[in-house]
């Protein structure tokens, strides 16, 4: 006699609910900014509280997104099982805990971080509302992820008087805007039927893919600009080359208009981009600077 499969424990279900694996999109850029701001090294507790802040802020944003889209997610074949993972009260509890964690980490870092944190929280949550009134909700997702390097820079320097964090934030915004356009093509028909705003549902999938290409060219140029502005070396330069090749590969996969290919393009390739750029930065600070004048 067969028995039903055991239900995953709460932490596993919560991790799936907020797509914890997607932390690899924003967190590496926070760490890149942290390394550059600190000249390759920071105090252990600063590093710890940056990690807490990044994870808590992202969890807060994802919980808010799930709560706002609770009913519409039930209707979408791609997302219809999300609400079965945790209950609404549990999602609100996790949102509240993440809010406390975000503010608490900012408090432990420095006063400017604490002052900046409410603005960051509004930006992170506002994205979830934009699909109801603008076809450029993808821009606001990029804006939400772009606060990570800015926040990490403030955490280390308690100042925003330098150009590099803004260049990196711009690159992250353009990169995210582009890959979310690609991913949102999966929901174009659903968004159109539900009267939701998204670029593919309003202007068509081909137009979304063309705009994504332009944005990723600009993102690649911005990552290179950051290399120059931050004074990084051959490690990050090599990572920029890998990033450019990865983005070309992403668009080749997306051109198939196949759900499996787009999902691979969304997660695997973009995770490669962020982690490769972080690895290049680490190589510059931990290896190359010991050998180059």
Is the pLDDT reported for residue 7 higher than 70? no
Q: Read off the pLDDT of residues 270-288 as tens digits, 9 standing for 90 and up.
A: 889 999 999 999 999 977 6
| Single pTM value for the model | 0.90
CA within 13 Å, CB half, 40: 13
In contact, 93 and 132? CB cutoff 8 Å: no
- Choose from 16-20, 123-127, 262-266 the range with maximum mean pLDDT: 123-127
Q: Tokens for 185?
A: 């093509």
| Lowest model confidence (mean pLDDT) among 14-28, 130-144, 242-256, 271-285 | 14-28
What residue ranges define each of the domains in the chain, with the CATH number in brackets? 10-286 (1.10.357.140)
The pLDDT score that the predictor gives to residue 29 is: 96
Q: How far apart are CA 19 and CA 87, in angstroms?
A: 16
């Amino acid at each position: 006699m067969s028995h039903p499969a055991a239900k995953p424990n709460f932490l596993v279900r919560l991790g799936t609910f907020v797509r914890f694996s997607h932390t690899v999109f924003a967190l590496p850029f926070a760490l890149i900014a942290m390394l550059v701001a600190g000249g390759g090294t920071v105090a252990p507790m600063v590093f710890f509280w940056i990690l807490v802040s990044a994870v808590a802020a992202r969890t807060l944003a994802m919980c808010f997104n799930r709560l706002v889209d609770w009913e519409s997610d039930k209707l979408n074949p791609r997302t219809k099982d999300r609400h079965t993972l945790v209950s609404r009260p549990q999602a609100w509890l996790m949102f509240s805990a993440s809010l406390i964690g975000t503010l608490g980490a900012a408090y432990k870092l420095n006063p400017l971080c604490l002052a900046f944190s409410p603005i960051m929280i509004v930006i992170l949550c506002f994205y979830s509302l934009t699909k109801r009134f603008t076809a450029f909700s993808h821009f606001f997702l990029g804006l939400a992820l772009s606060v990570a390097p800015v926040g990490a820079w403030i955490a280390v320097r308690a100042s925003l008087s330098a150009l590099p964090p803004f260049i990196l934030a711009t690159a992250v915004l353009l990169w995210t805007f582009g890959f979310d356009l690609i991913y949102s093509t999966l929901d174009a028909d659903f968004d159109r039927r539900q009267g939701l705003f998204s670029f593919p549902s309003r202007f068509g999938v081909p137009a979304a893919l063309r705009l994504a290409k332009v944005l990723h060219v600009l993102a690649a140029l911005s990552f290179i600009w950051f290399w120059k502005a931050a004074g990084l070396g051959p490690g990050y330069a090599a990572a920029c080359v890998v990033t450019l090749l990865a983005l070309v590969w992403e668009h080749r996969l997306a051109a198939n208009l196949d759900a499996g290919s787009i999902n691979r393009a969304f997660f695997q390739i973009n995770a490669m981009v962020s982690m490769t750029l972080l690895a290049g930065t680490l190589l510059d600070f931990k290896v190359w600077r010991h050998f180059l004048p």
